[in-house]
A and B are shown apart, each in its own frame.
Chain A
Amino acid sequence: MTNIITARNLSKNYGSFQALKNVDLTVEKGQIIGIIGANGAGKTTLLNSILGLSAYEGELEVLGMNPYRQRDELMKEISFISDVATLPKWIKVSEAIDFVEGVHKNFDRTKALGFLSGTNVPLDKKIGKLSKGMIVQVHLALIMSIDAKILVLDEPTLGLDIMYRKKFYHQLLEDYFDDERTIIITTHQVDEIENILSQVVFIRDGRIMLKASMEDINDQWLVLNPTPENIEAARALSPISERKTLGRVSFIFKDKSRDDLKKLGDVSQLSLSDLFVTLMDGE
């Protein structure tokens, strides 16, 4: 596999605050990577460094380039949407399309218009006159129509209703993603992206806590809901954590054989959000 992003000893300080602490990270081609962390954990700082939006210390190479010095070159191959509404209010939807077409060699106008035709977005209106959801739709239509090697989505579906969110992730997989592309995504709605991710990175206090493939996570981490008589037996297997909800007890295990656990009760996959909480509690 080819590494398209390599970070070594990546750090970023804002005054005395260390937003990133000696992060090492490699990302391979053809992955969909979820970056998960609490607010202020360093997700956006990490993404901004990768996108060449801020200076950093340490080594960072994205598609063989130095993102800070070669941002404009790099942006030919990367498209991104950041976590805040960034389309200027004064621009008309049609002008925004004209603009991206004018500066981006790899932009496909037909595709963008195709995405927008499935929405209620009027092309002749200014961004400032659109609803929050519509603005996100315009932005997503623009960046999904750029033939890029890396797509970075920072909270892409903020402000969208659930119908459109589902449709978006479906489109992302069906119409956009292929082996040649890499998608990096952060979101608070972890459950919605869980089944499209191939890799996950947990980040906390500027450090990477865990980087693993979804396969490995699903193999290693299991939830056991033991039958009442087996609760003590389950506890004896030294679970990572134990929780009680609505009178039922469940245990989270790591690296235990699924078959062994099945003897004690129902075994299921651990959801990413539960894994995140478990790892954070464990610290």
Chain B
Amino acid sequence: MLASLIKTTGYNPFKTLMLREYWENRRAIFTTPLVITAISMTLIIISMGIFGRSIHIDGESFTLNEFIANTSEQEAQDVKNHINYLLLGSSAPIMIGVWFCMIFTALSSLYDERKDNSILFWKSMPVSDTQTILSKLLTITLVIPLVAIAFAFIFQIFLLIVGSFATIGTEHSAWDLLWSSANLPVLILNEVVFMIMYGLWALPIFAWLMLVSVFAKRSPLVLATVPIVLIALFERIFFRSEYLLNFIDTHLSPAQMLNHVMNSNTNSINTLSSLNIIKSAADHNFWIGLSVAAAMLYATILIRRRNSL
């Protein structure tokens, strides 16, 4: 199935555009999460004690196996209760790495093609600017995070397997301590819902980066950030307000969204928590962000149509 997904099958413009994005952004989509996952796995294996003792707590050093052997019944219960949070937290390095990929892919999405003149080749093809920009937006806000979640899943399975090995010879059973407490399908559900909703919450940010990318003559990163900083300073000094910074904070950080989950008083990660993430759409800020994003994307399309040279 995967093979047919990443292969062209004759005339199919939108699929071809998405593939084109994959070819161009293989590093951001695939290589980055792969490398982070590989590095994380290596670090875990080292901590297993194959290469000696590597966990250091209060001046004492343990292997992972010794660490689990010394875990009391009470602590084991804690592990069981929080195993889903631990697994979720374990994917943080992948998600953070991929977040940078999303930002930088957006910044270069419509800039690189002008820099290397390839825009003239793309424009010689019968695809509209709207389709092109849509394919880029979907790649940034959907394809990149979904592939990252796949890698996070592999890493979580890996952690459970490694953890199981570490319980050998201890009084804790791998099934009881790890597998029966972890709920991988619900974790994936929550991660997917989270990433999709984050993509929508942060849409004005990505739309802004694409807008800058379509008109920047050079250095889109500088052009995307410096004016924001200046306007924010201006606002602070002359109006003593921070509307712009608040707007960016609301949409760039997932905190606003996660507040909706925290407020709903669920202590564990379950199907309900993914619904609570979706419920964050009831926030008026969500819709303000989407409207701002739509306006900026429309401008991006108009500029790409006009500014081909």
Where the two chains meet, the residues of A that have a C-beta atom closer than 8 Å to any C-beta of B are: 48, 51-55, 68, 71-76, 78-82, 84-92, 95, 98-105, 139, 143
Contact = CB atoms under 8 A, between A and B. Distances in A.
A34 to B, nearest CB: 20
Contacts of A53: 120, 123, 308-309
Contacts of B119: 86
Contacts of A52: 123
B51 interface: no
Interface string B108-133: 00000100111111011111110100
A121 to B, nearest CB: 16
A73 B129 CA distance: 12
Contact of B127 (A68, A72, A143): A72
A112 to B, nearest CB: 14
B283 interface: no
What does DSSP make chain B's interface, helix, strand, loop or mixed? helix
Most buried by A among B17, B118, B126: B126
A90 B306 contact: no
Interface stretch (B6-14, B52-60, B217-225, B291-299): B6-14
A65 B29 CA distance: 39
A96 to B, nearest CB: 9
Contacts of B8: 98-99, 101-102
Given A85-B117, A102-B11, A90 B23 contact: yes
B121 A105 contact: no
A87 B125 contact: no
A103 B126 CA distance: 7
B20 A86 contact: no
Range for the number of chain B residues in contact with chain A? 20 to 34
Given A103-B126, A104-B126, A98 B19 contact: yes
12 contacts: A51-B124, A71-B305, A72-B129, A75-B126, A81-B124, A86-B120, A86-B124, A90-B23, A91-B23, A91-B24, A100-B125, A102-B15
A143 B124 CA distance: 9
Given A86-B119, A92-B23, A101-B10, 19 more contacts: A48-B309, A51-B124, A53-B123, A53-B308, A53-B309, A72-B129, A73-B126, A78-B124, A82-B124, A86-B124, A87-B121, A90-B23, A90-B24, A99-B8, A101-B16, A102-B15, A103-B17, A103-B126, A103-B127
Given A89-B116, A98-B8, A103 B308 contact: no
A90 B20 CA distance: 11
A102 B128 CA distance: 14
A52 B127 CA distance: 13
B155 to A, nearest CB: 28
Given A98-B8, A101-B8, A102-B11, A54 B124 contact: no
Contacts of B125: 75, 99-100, 103-104
A272 to B, nearest CB: 27
A33 to B, nearest CB: 19
A37 B61 CA distance: 80
Nearest to A96: B121
